[in-house]
Amino acid sequence: MTFILIGVNHNSAPVEVRERLAIPESRLAEAITRLAHFPGVEEGMILSTCNRVELIANIADSSVDLRGFLREYFETDTDSLAGHLYEYREQEAMRHIFRVAASLDSMIVGEPQVLGQVKAAYAVACGVGALHSQLHALISRAFAVAKRVRTETAIGSSAVSVASAAVDLATQIFGSLAGKHIYLVGAGKMSELAARHLIAGGAEAIFVANRTHARALVLAEKFQGTAIHFEELYETADRADIVITSTGSPCAIFRREHGERFLHRRKNRPMFFIDIAVPRDVDPEMNKVDGIFVYDIDDLQAVVSANVASREREAARAHEIIEAELQRFITRLQTQEVAPTIISLQEHLENIRQAELDRARGRLGKLTPEQESAVEALTRGIINKVLHTPITALKNAAGDAESNTVIDHVRRIFNLNPRNITSGRLNSGNSESQGLGAKSPDSKSGTAKRIPMGRPRDKQEEPLREEEKKATPS
């Protein structure tokens, strides 16, 4: 078992690169399925948001290279990504996913959306059966860590959202926002948030256009604005001073010539485009039009440079929480590795004890309750004394490179069943703790003696838990 994580984020790659790798929501399930079936990958999940695209997998042996998956999936050569891709393994991968979920790796540290996005990705991965015990446990833990960070530090409260950065910029352009018109193109969570902030800043009428008109209607009603049919977008957009775009369109919706036309109709009154979408909805060329100002998601980052000091302090505290949780998780993983052997060792000796007791009972005749308990205590005591050394040895070996050798020796000496999969399929997805429990001996097969598990997942996994279903993509 090895965790591996590769990806790009807002720090490692500019938006031009990220948009090449972005996987739209509609294709995420398929992409995760393909990742889970990539040779050597046992479990996999993909997180694709406007600020990051990350692949995390539990791989059979450490030679697996997820770049191969990227090459295959995007039909691109990964050399061009070399400077932007980061790869983490094992502890680093775990730490990274904890940090991402806790919003420490976010463009705007502490912003709350990323947890929802991880949850959504997790739900999709569960839905296609791409998660089993290990990765499942890791992601579940990441949620718990994120929650802890949120409640125990002030990182969320001091977070400056992209939205307020947008408001700040709009003020730099327009001065007062009073009476300014806002146009929402695409009905995403982020754009809704930005619109809410702008309205709080005094902006007035709202227009909403969305490919699915019904969603436009819902959002327009929320803001008491006007829903506009997507086809009328170009005829109506010049009414807006501020345009917020967040559609899933693969190519730019607004291009330079549109901007020139809008400005002409507006008699050159300035327009401000806030492009939250990845891939971008507004052609960067548009920024060259006199009187039009285009800010994409990366540009907003630059604006959010203030307020850093207090967030850094909180981030340091959050970091401590994450390190502590990481150690706990690793310890649990390691004990999980030896736990099946310990249990079968205990069961084995207990069986011997019971068998010997049964045989001796006839010769002992009827015993008084006191005698009965004395015999019981005696036999148990012997077993525990005998077991003490091997169990200690196993526990000490947990996490070591030789843990498999120790496990094998113990099993051979005590003539335990070879590590098997008799306990059946993993109960992945049943509960957060189960994956970490000691009940899945098969999950821990060492690389040396791995019994091919085939791919018994995919379809026959149990259905999603309710709360996973509810995790809505954002």
Question: In the bound complex, what is the minimum distance in angstroms from residue 293's beta carbon to other proteins?
Answer: 5
Direct distance between the N- and C-terminal alpha carbons of the chain, in angstroms, rounded to an integer? 31
Three-class secondary structure of residue 65 per DSSP: coil
Residue ranges in 295-334 that form contacts with other proteins under rule CB under 8 A: 295, 299, 302-303
Three-class secondary structure of residue 75 per DSSP: coil
CA-wise closest residue to 161 among 206, 187, 194: 194
Tell me how far apart the alpha carbons of residues 334 and 342 are, in angstroms, rounded to a whole number: 13
Query: How many chain residues are in contact with other proteins, going by CB under 8 A?
Result: 19
Tell me how far apart the alpha carbons of residues 272 and 169 are, in angstroms, rounded to a whole number: 9
Among 63, 267, 366, 466, binds other proteins (CB under 8 A): 267
User: Which residue, 27 or 264, is less far from other proteins as judged by CB?
Assistant: 264
User: Which residue, 202 or 437, is less far from other proteins as judged by CB?
Assistant: 202
User: Which residue, 66 or 169, is less far from other proteins as judged by CB?
Assistant: 169
Q: Which one of 148-156, 198-206, 293-301, 339-347 is the stretch in contact with other proteins (CB under 8 A)? A: 293-301
Cβ within 8 Å of residue 361, ≥6 positions away:
none
Among 29, 173, 217, 375, binds other proteins (CB under 8 A): 173
- Tell me, yes or no, if 50 is annotated catalytic: yes
| CA angle, residues 310, 313, 315, in degrees to nearest 5 | 110
Q: How far is CA 155 from CA 66, 96, 105, 318, 321, in A?
A: 33, 17, 12, 8, 12
Catalytic residue, from 50, 55, 108, 123: name it. Answer: 50
H or E element that contains 57: strand 52-59
Phi/psi of residue 156, nearest 5 degrees: -75, -35
Question: In the bound complex, what is the minimum distance in angstroms from residue 266's beta carbon to other proteins?
Answer: 7
- 103 HSE (CA, 13 A, CB side): 29
Q: Is 269 in the site for other proteins (CB under 8 A)?
A: yes
Question: In the bound complex, what is the minimum distance in angstroms from residue 183's beta carbon to other proteins?
Answer: 18
Question: In the bound complex, what is the minimum distance in angstroms from residue 171's beta carbon to other proteins?
Answer: 6
User: Which residue, 267 or 363, is less far from other proteins as judged by CB?
Assistant: 267
The answer to whether 277 touches 246, Cβ cutoff 8 Å, is: yes
Among 291, 446, 456, 473, binds other proteins (CB under 8 A): 291
Question: In the bound complex, what is the minimum distance in angstroms from residue 52's beta carbon to other proteins?
Answer: 21
User: Which residue, 187 or 297, is less far from other proteins as judged by CB?
Assistant: 297
Binding site for other proteins (CB under 8 A): 169, 171-175, 266-270, 287, 290-291, 293, 295, 299, 302-303
Catalytic residues: 50
